[in-house]
Amino acid sequence: MHPAGEIVVAGHICVDITPTLAGEVSVVPGDLSEVGPVAMTLGGCVGNTGGDLADLGAPVRLVATIADDELGAVVRTIFENRGLSSDGLAIAAEAGTSYSIVLQPRGADRTIWHHAGANALFDDRAVDLDGAAMLHVGYPPLLRGLLAGEGLPLRRLFDRAVAAGVTTSLDMAVVDPKSEVGALDWRAILANVLPLVDVFSPSADDLRSALGFAEGFSTGLVERLAEEFIHAGVAIVAISAGAEGLYLRTGSPERIASGGQVLAGLSSGWANQRFWMRPTPVADTVTTNGAGDAATAGLLYGMWLGLDPAETGRLAIACAATLISGRATTRDAIAMVDQDLAARVNEYAVS
């Protein structure tokens, strides 16, 4: 039986501004490139993972920082239209609402131009953990206020969660080496925080940019990193690796059982797992923006429901495939990707 508490998703939020592209766009000064209609959607961990969890039917509470400006109004309107509560949105007067310009040619991966904006003022003390079963924090490289003193504010937030018996979860973002946070010691930050993290779900690109690996991508590198994070104290590591899929590595039975309300309810079958989940082929790639966040939503929801590791991995992959196909991650949409899994999810959701 799944826990009664909510999944609190806190951290980075933005407005994704995505023009429809028929082909390549020129950035040559003086050129004009014709594009199609523009879409404005929620982005960032709170918008993506939080929104995907809500679409799956999970009880979510979203906590983020925006501004009282035009894009902040867009965020509040989208929340209202999707039936999401905006009670957890703090208003910062010192910075504008964050946004991304997403350049997404059909059938190809996207390029993002990002302004962190009010996310830099996100305050860990604003996160209310009353009634929470799980806390998921997303994109610390874009939450500058959590990074002082090698991540002490982020550690303080997870300290509170652990003390309250809340399962903790952390996702990363690509670190811009030219930015202020690119100069930080990310190995020291992670060493400070990861012993308090129950679930860690970065992408391989996140890790390579933060940790500065010179070697190219390989499945062996992903597996070595996962092993390193398990030894650092994480209970469950899930690293997304694009076309290679998702690698899941889990810790000892004792570490799983100590991982707050959600992990404590899982069986011993979750312990000492090591396996790859290959991606589901998608006939028509509509967008890759948010696919990793969708996989994280499936991962967290599978754990919250009490699914086994293989089913949870399948749900993560199915959520990513659904998102890439241009559909919301509802259970009906998941059924179009994996009907047997969707039936299993529905069975657990009503138990």
What's the CATH number where 302 sits?
Answer: 3.40.1190.20
Read off the pLDDT band of 1 (50, 70, 90): low
Pairing of strands 38-43, 60-66: unpaired
Is 300 inside any structural domain? Answer: yes
The average pLDDT across 313-336 equals 94
266 located within any domain = yes
Please say whether the dihedral angle defined by the alpha carbons of residues 26, 32, 35 and 39, taken in this order, is positive or negative: positive
Does 175 reside within a domain? Answer: yes
d(CA 186, CA 206): 11
In a domain, residue 29? The reply is no
In a domain, 130, yes or no: yes
pLDDT at 6 exceeding the cut of 80: yes
Q: Which residue has the higher pLDDT, 287 or 224?
A: 224
**For the chain, where are the alpha helices, taking DSSP H only?**
44-45, 51-56, 70-81, 148-163, 186-193, 204-211, 219-232, 253-257, 260-264, 291-305, 309-324, 331-337, 339-349
Residue 46 lies in a domain: yes
pLDDT band at 106 (very low <50, low <70, confident <90, very high): low
Domain count, the chain: 1
The pLDDT of 128-143, averaged and rounded, is: 97
What tokens appear for 80 in the block? Answer: 């209202």
Domain containing 141 equals 6-24+34-349
Per-residue DSSP letter, 203: B
Indicate whether 226 belongs to any domain: yes
Q: What is the mean pLDDT of residues 297-307?
A: 97
**What local confidence, expressed as pLDDT, does residue 144 receive?**
94
Judged by average pLDDT, the poorest of 23-32, 88-97, 149-158 is 23-32
Q: Is a pLDDT exceeding 90 seen at residue 249?
A: yes
- Is the pLDDT reported for residue 236 higher than 80? yes
For residue 10, tell me if it sits in a domain: yes
